[in-house]
Amino acid sequence: MAKYNKIQVIQTMKETAVVPVFYHGDLQTAKQVVKACYEGGIRAFEFANRGDFAQEVFGELVKFANKELPGMIMGIGTVIDAPTAAMYLQLGANFVVGPMFNREVALLCNRRLVPYCPGCATPTEVSTAQEAGCDVCKVFPGDVLGPGFVKGVRAPMPWSQLMVTGGVKPERANLEAWFKAGVTCVGMGSNLFPKDVIAAGEWSKITELCKGALQIIKEVR
């Protein structure tokens, strides 16, 4: 069962403005990454459902965060169907993210008052997701659609709350372009977690990348 309610989750996404997206099959590595992000100021974290037994790692991460990292909201990403979403809700997911929109997932999450952020690549998809109760829609793939898409959608639909994922970097020019276009927050994956840094266990570097990204966003918003 989710520890944080829908309003708390969405407000945290808005305030923090960065939602890391990460997957690793090793629990201890995943714990270190989540902790490093927390120490860098992150308060909403998306663990990706991308490997065998990912649900086992996620369940332990939720317990770890609830006990050791007060205020860290754990969500699950790469969810494409309702049975998968239901499994992760049972494990304590506070929000659900997917690469595309699935109405069954929307109904399931709404029933439990858990935010569902589906991937959308057209104004119609954004509107359809909003109609189904999705408060925050994921612009995906961001590196293909670009900041112009966000600006274009929000012109006729200014109420839209958009989280872009794909191609987001912890760099001023990149982040400024997205936030000036009107995103609510950004999902940041591989650019926040360089493979060599993970392999070397240099967790403080991840903390610094998070701090740097949050500072940039504070300045360009």
Task: Look at residue 21 and tell me if it is in a domain.
Answer: yes
Task: Look at residue 154 and tell me if it is in a domain.
Answer: no
Structural domains counted in the chain: 1
What is the predicted pLDDT for the residue at 16? 96
* Distance set, CA 37 to CA 84, 101, 176, 194, 196 (Å): 26, 28, 21, 13, 17
What is the predicted pLDDT for the residue at 172? 97
What is the C-alpha separation between 196 and 1, in angstroms, rounded?
Answer: 35
Strand partners, 137: 162
Q: What is the pLDDT along the chain (221 residues), one digit of tens a residue?
A: 899 999 999 999 999 999 999 999 999 999 999 999 999 999 999 999 999 999 999 999 999 999 999 999 999 999 999 999 999 999 999 999 999 999 999 999 999 999 999 999 999 999 999 999 999 999 999 999 999 999 999 999 999 999 999 999 999 999 999 999 999 999 999 999 999 999 999 999 999 999 999 999 999 99
Backbone angles phi, psi at 70, to 5 degrees: -60, 130
What is the predicted pLDDT for the residue at 44? 98
- Type of residue at 158: P
Task: Look at residue 87 and tell me if it is in a domain.
Answer: yes
Task: Look at residue 18 and tell me if it is in a domain.
Answer: yes
What is the predicted pLDDT for the residue at 155? 98
The model's pTM is 0.97
Task: Look at residue 63 and tell me if it is in a domain.
Answer: yes
What is the predicted pLDDT for the residue at 83? 98
- Coil, strand or helix at 163: strand
What is the C-alpha separation between 9 and 7, in angstroms, rounded?
Answer: 5
Structure tokens that stand for 43 in this block: 């308060």
What is the C-alpha separation between 192 and 205, in angstroms, rounded?
Answer: 9
DSSP 98: -
Task: Respond yes or no on whether the N-terminal peptide bond of residue 99 is cis (omega within 30° of 0).
Answer: no
* Distance set, CA 43 to CA 14, 20, 75, 141 (Å): 11, 9, 11, 23
CB 201 within 8 A of CB 32: yes
What is the C-alpha separation between 33 and 193, in angstroms, rounded?
Answer: 9
Task: Look at residue 140 and tell me if it is in a domain.
Answer: no
What is the C-alpha separation between 71 and 65, in angstroms, rounded?
Answer: 8
Task: Look at residue 171 and tell me if it is in a domain.
Answer: no
Task: Look at residue 34 and tell me if it is in a domain.
Answer: yes
What is the predicted pLDDT for the residue at 123? 98
Closest C-alpha to 85, from 53, 65, 109, 111? 109
Domain containing residue 88: CATH number? 3.20.20.70
What is the predicted pLDDT for the residue at 148? 98
Sign of CA dihedral 124, 128, 131, 136: negative
What is the predicted pLDDT for the residue at 159? 98
**Displacement of CA 123 from its chain's centroid (Å):** 20
Q: Which domain holds residue 73?
A: 6-118+185-220
What is the predicted pLDDT for the residue at 96? 98
First to last CA, the chain: 34
